[in-house]
Amino acid sequence: MSSQAINVEAVIVFDEGKIDRELQYPEFEAIMDGFVPIPEFAHRQMSAVYLRINPSLRITACVFFLAEFEAGGMIAKRWNVPLQALADNAARGPDLGAGPIALACYSQCPIDWQKTKLWDPVMEPGRNSFVLMKKAIAANRLGLVFPRSEREAETESAPDQQNLRANLEREFATTMRTRLAHTLKEQRLRINTLKNRMALKLDGLKREHQIRLDNYQQRLDHADEAVKHASSRIQELEHELALKDGKIEGLREYYEHKLRALQQDGGAEIEALEAGFAEQLQAKLEESTEHMQQLLDMREMELFYRQQQEESLREELAVLQRERDSLLNHGAVQLLAPMKKAGISFVVFAPGCGQLTLSADEVPDYMADPVAFAAERTGLSLQSYKLWLDHHHSPYCTAVNSDGEECGQGVKRVLEPADFHDGESNRCEHHRSQNSNYVAGRS
């Protein structure tokens, strides 16, 4: 019997479904430690596979992981995936020539909080990740060298014909059962991979639909606000016009009455009165026009000063935010640097996200605004996430009746943020039907 074979570690990087490069594990460790950059991977998230290979150039373990690269092609400092621990605890996968491999991927992750840092292999014909890796390792372009194992000759007595036949039948039955089990395992993996892809695609469509709904709702709110403002301004102008018409009508009646009373005094006096009436009327019109122009100029100056004040306040706010971030980051660096060096991660719970694993670099962002951090993880805007959070804490109808009071009737709680729609999920059946009729009327 021979001594146990020694496996060799390697890393294969995929790009657009094809193998981009093959690395021995010491080469990948140099990249992780920041000694060797890969400029063409700068600002990209690459799909890679950690492999264990036996002396027969057969794959015995696979970990499908995602690697993030920063500027200059250096691997991200916050990146930390325990590849060897995942391989040691992985469940069984397909048979690639040396029996069932140890497989860790998105659909089959032995460490739950590392799931988001993994990806699923492609199982489609012609692009099958396992087939591509099997061929690449068999070609041995990495030049893998294995230490020789000492072999011990062991003589065994030859079995008789009946025992040999029985042993062969048992071995054949065992082989067929094992092959059937491997086939079922591979099909389950394929099904789970397809399910995860469809779930991710559905989540993306939900987020896109929610963003479009938010945009339409904002445009509708802006249009309603503009209509209200225009209606209010029209009423003000109509009121001012009515007052001016009343004044002009009063002056006209006064001078016409005076003109009729003095018609007998002669044509010259009448002409003088008519001229005086016209001059006074023109003066009143010019005075009113000048007054309105002054009011308009004052409003423009007020608007100009207000814009200057807003710009000044924005600049002060930006300075204060930078100072706050600087203080927060400086304090966080002193406190979290030893923890980061020790490889400690932080686990928090956020509504709608579940359990989140934070690296030391992400702790300041989470501490600065936990709600915004959770909203970003769910893929929603901050406003949409806050609306869902209020609904999740207290699910009731928020529609406002004619008295200005909320309905308050209990509604079904929406558990997932991506499934929440403002104006629908937080409405009872009565107000939901009213909202549908209102939208139909507007269209």
386 Cβ contact list (under 8 Å, min separation 6): 371, 375
Task: Give the three-class secondary structure for 68.
Answer: strand
Measure the CA–CA gap between 256 and 258, rounded to whole angstroms. Answer: 5
The model's pLDDT over 146-198, given as tens digits with 9 standing for 90+, comes to 765 544 334 444 456 777 777 776 676 666 666 656 666 666 777 777 777 78
Lowest mean pLDDT among 209-213, 331-335, 348-352: 331-335
Measure the CA–CA gap between 218 and 214, rounded to whole angstroms. Answer: 6
Measure the CA–CA gap between 121 and 422, rounded to whole angstroms. Answer: 37
Q: What percent of the chain has pLDDT over 70?
A: 84
Element (H, E) at 266: none
Measure the CA–CA gap between 185 and 215, rounded to whole angstroms. Answer: 45
Measure the CA–CA gap between 385 and 387, rounded to whole angstroms. Answer: 5
For residues 294-305, average pLDDT: 85
Take residue 147 and report the two structure tokens written for it. Answer: 């230490």
**What pLDDT shows up at residue 403?**
81
**What pLDDT shows up at residue 153?**
38
- Residue 304 pLDDT more than 80? yes
Single out the residue of 331, 327, 322, 332 nearest to residue 359, CA to CA: 332
**What pLDDT shows up at residue 10?**
93
The model's pLDDT over 4-51, given as tens digits with 9 standing for 90+, comes to 457 899 999 999 889 999 998 988 988 888 888 888 998 899 999 999
* Mean pLDDT for the chain overall: 81
- 207 neighbors 377 (Cβ within 8 angstroms): no
- Residue 399 CB coordination number (10 Å): 19
pLDDT band at 64 (very low <50, low <70, confident <90, very high): very high
CA atoms within 13 A on the CB side of 347: 5
CA–CA distances in Å: residue 162 to residues 174, 228, 347: 18, 98, 62
- Residue 231 pLDDT more than 50? yes
pTM over 0.85? The answer is no
- β-bridge pairing 100-104 and 59-68: parallel
**What pLDDT shows up at residue 157?**
44
pLDDT band at 65 (very low <50, low <70, confident <90, very high): very high
- Residue 248 pLDDT more than 80? yes
pLDDT band at 119 (very low <50, low <70, confident <90, very high): very high
What's the start-to-end Cα distance of the chain, in Å?
82
- Ordered DSSP codes for 70-128: -GGGPBPTT----HHHHHHT-EEEEESSSSEEEEEBTTB-SSGGGGGGB-PPP-STTS-
Name residue 48's beta-bridge partners: 13, 65
What single-letter DSSP state applies at residue 264? Answer: G
